[in-house]
A and B are shown apart, each in its own frame.
Chain A
Amino acid sequence: MNSFLKRLKEFPGRAASWFRSLPGRSARFFRSLYERAADLFASFLNFFKSSNQNVRASLCLMGLGQLMYRQYGKGILYLAIEIGAVLFFSLVGFTWISGFFTLGTIAADPWTGQEGDNSVIMMLLGLFAFVILILFLVLYVSNVKDARKSQLMVLEGKKLPTFRDELKDLLDKKFYKSVLFVPILGVSVFSVLPIVFMILIAFTNYGPDHIPPNLVDWTGFESFETIFSATNIGSTFAKILGWNLLWAVASTLVNYLLGLLLALLLAKKVVKGKAFWRLFPILAYAIPGFITLTAFKFMFSMGGPINDIISDLGGTPIHFLGLDNTWGARFIGLMVNAWLTVPSTMLLATGILSNAPTDMYEAARIDGASSFRQFKDLTLPFVVFATTPTLITSFINNFNNFGVFYFLRGDIVPSEGYTAANDTDLLINWLYRLSIDNNYYSIGAAVSLLIFLITSIISLIVYVRSPAYRKEGTFR
Chain B
Amino acid sequence: MNAKAKKVLTALWTYCLLIIVAFIFVFPCLWLVMGSFSATGNLYNIDGFFDTRLSVDAFVKLFTDTKIYDYPNWLLNTFIVASLSCILSTVLLIGTAYVMSYFEFRARKPLMKLTLVLSMFPSFMGMTAVYLLMTQFNLLNNLLGLVFIYSCTAPLGYLVQKGFFDTIPHSIYEAARIDGATNARIFRTITLPLAKPMIVYTALTSFTWPWSDYILPKLLLSEESNYTVAVGLMGLGEEEFSRFAAGSVFIAVPIIVLYFVLAKNMVTGLTAGSVKG
Chain A residues at the B interface, C-beta cutoff of 8 Å: 120-121, 124-125, 168, 171-173, 175-176, 179-180, 182-184, 186-187, 189-195, 197-198, 201, 262, 265-266, 268, 270-271, 277-292, 294-296, 298-299, 301, 303-305, 308-309, 312, 339, 343-344, 347-348, 350-352, 355, 386-387, 389-390, 396, 400, 402, 427-428, 431-432, 435-436, 441, 444-445, 448, 451-452, 455-456, 459, 468
Contacts and interface: CB of A to CB of B under 8 A. Distances in A.
Given A171-B184, A195-B126, A352-B271, A299 B31 contact: yes
A145 B122 CA distance: 39
Given A347-B267, A452-B121, A389 B182 contact: no
Q: Quick one: which of A271, A298, A455 has the most chain B CB within 10 A?
A: A298
B240 to A, nearest CB: 11
| Interface SS of A by simple majority | helix
Which 7 interchain pairs have the tightest Cβ spacing? A194-B126, A186-B152, A288-B212, A194-B129, A389-B277, A351-B271, A171-B184
A295 to B, nearest CB: 5
Nearest to A439: B128
A316 to B, nearest CB: 16
Nearest to B23: A280
Contacts of A175: 99, 103, 182-184, 187
Interface of B: 7, 10-11, 14-15, 17-18, 21-22, 24-26, 28-29, 31-32, 43-44, 46-49, 92, 95-96, 98-99, 103, 105, 111, 117-118, 120-130, 132-133, 136, 148-149, 151-153, 155-156, 182-185, 187, 208, 211-212, 214-215, 219, 230, 233-234, 238, 241, 244-245, 248, 251-252, 255-256, 258-260, 263, 266-267, 270-271, 273-275, 277
A192 B184 CA distance: 28
Contacts of A125: 136
B122 A400 contact: yes
Contacts of A347: 266-267, 270
Contacts of A301: 43, 238
B222 to A, nearest CB: 13
Contact of A448 (B11, B121, B274): B121
A445 B125 contact: yes
A286 B259 contact: yes
A124 B137 CA distance: 12
A386 B275 contact: yes
A178 to B, nearest CB: 8
B133 A303 contact: no
6 contacts: A179-B95, A189-B133, A192-B118, A201-B129, A386-B274, A431-B122
A439 to B, nearest CB: 10
B230 A290 contact: yes
B102 to A, nearest CB: 8
Contact of B120 (A281, A352, A456): A456
